[in-house]
Structures are given as C-alpha cells and as structure tokens.
Amino acid sequence: MPTLDEFLEEATAFLAFNADPKGDGPFAWGDGSDSVAIFAHKTPEDERSEGAEAQAWRTTVFDAGFGWISGPAQYGGRELPSSYEQAWQALMGRYDVPSTMPFGIGLGMIAPTILAHGTDVAKQRYLRAMYRGDVIACQLFSEPGAGSDLASVQTRAERDGDEWIVTGQKVWTSGAQYADIGEIICRTDPDAPKHKGLTGFVIDMRAPGVEVRPLRQMTGGASFNEVFFTEVRVPDDHRLGGVNGGWTVALTTLMS
C-alpha cells in the first residue's frame, strides 16, 4: 500500500496532466453570474452534453485508479483507507474538472446499498460500471401518497417464479430521464405492517413498461420526474436484501 504522501504525489501528477488548476484571484463583490436559480433550466441537449463530459471524466479517473479509492478490489476499487479518499477529494477541489453531478445519487446512495445488500450478480454487474461512469442510477422512493412517510409506498412487486412484476408510480425522481438503473422500494406483502411488507430492487430504467414523465417547474426547467411502472419484470437476482426486508435497505440508502 502506498503511503499517503506517495498517493498524493501520484494523484497530483494525474490531475496536473488532465486538468487545469482553479484560479486563485481575489474575491470581488459583483463579479460572476447573477443567476440565483436553485434548479437550472437545461435542455435535453444540454443534459446530453454535460452527461457525456461527466462520463468521460469518470472513466478517465477510474481507469487511472482514482475512481473508487476505498472500494473492494474485486469491483474495481483500490482498498485504500477512507482518509486517502478524503485527501483525493480535497486535492481534486483545487482543479477545474467537469461536474459529475449525474452520478451523485448513484455513487453517494445507491452503490453503497448494492454493496451492502445486493446479490453477487448485482454487485458484479453494476458496482464497477457505476464507479467507472458507465451506468447512472436514480432513487425511486417517493410516491404521490408516500413522500415523508416512506413506509406507506403502494407500488407493488408480485413474485412470478424467478422474477418480480412491478406496477405503480414514483414521483420527484431526480435524474430518471437519463438513468440506466434505479433503486426501487416496493410493497411485496400488503397484509403485513407497513414497515414489514417492503422489498428493495435494482430495476432497469429502460425495461418495457417503464415510462418517465418530466415535471415542469415554474422556472421552466424539469429537474424532477414522475415514473410509471406497468408490469415491469425484474429478476430475483436484482433484489436488494431479503423479501420484505426493504425497510432496512431503504435506511441504508438514506443513511448513506
């Protein structure tokens, strides 16, 4: 294992070759953009362009060994201490690099959940791909009648052999319009107490029966979506945790 100083020397060389340092000019009142919008108004073309730039940067970073510094080696990580990850983030903050916002929810919340609760199939298929930027994930929790009360979700998942059939609706889903997969919490036992009848899954956002509809904001943009699922088939090897153990899965996601 390299020392932290050796790691930082390696990281600095990589960043110096692939990015420009941020300017260190003095702060001046009135300089910069006048925009105060919380949610940007981006066209689909803007999103595609920014997404391609973000993906290219994540791929470059990952292939150089900085994409998942503390992650398990079997999924593409380097198994270095979390302090190395923190040092990398601080160092990268000094350079002008592309935004990787499209990957924020997936890497910050969903990848840790797959690592903790996913099957070997799901871990092998998605973890390396997510950290490399090949797969974007979204979080499918809230519903029209279940926002702050997550345990009240009514989207159903019914077992059919080695698959589950998902039917229902989610809402306020950031990034659903460009996500490849989503983490979804479904009701699998309607007769159980509401916290006890939930199960989590990784769902293919391009599968037949998935429909994403943008929610237009008064500012003109569409940062959120409602997503409809009509008899979407999900393999059981994409289940997260045990059947009816979805509340624990959801807590892992939210605590991440």
The CATH number that applies at residue 165 is 2.40.110.10
Residues 155 and 65 in one domain: no
46 part of a folded domain? yes
Domain that holds residue 241: 137-255
Q: What is the pLDDT of residue 41?
A: 67
Residues 90 and 141 in one domain: no
28 part of a folded domain? no
Q: What is the DSSP letter of 25?
A: P
109 part of a folded domain? no
Residues 151 and 238 in one domain: yes
Residues 244 and 142 in one domain: yes
pLDDT along the chain (256 residues), means of 10: 96 96 76 69 74 92 96 96 96 93 94 98 98 97 89 96 97 93 97 95 98 84 89 98 97 94
Query: Would strands 137-140 and 181-187 be described as parallel, antiparallel, or unpaired?
Result: parallel
Residues 77 and 152 in one domain: no
pTM equals: 0.91
- Domains in the chain, number: 2
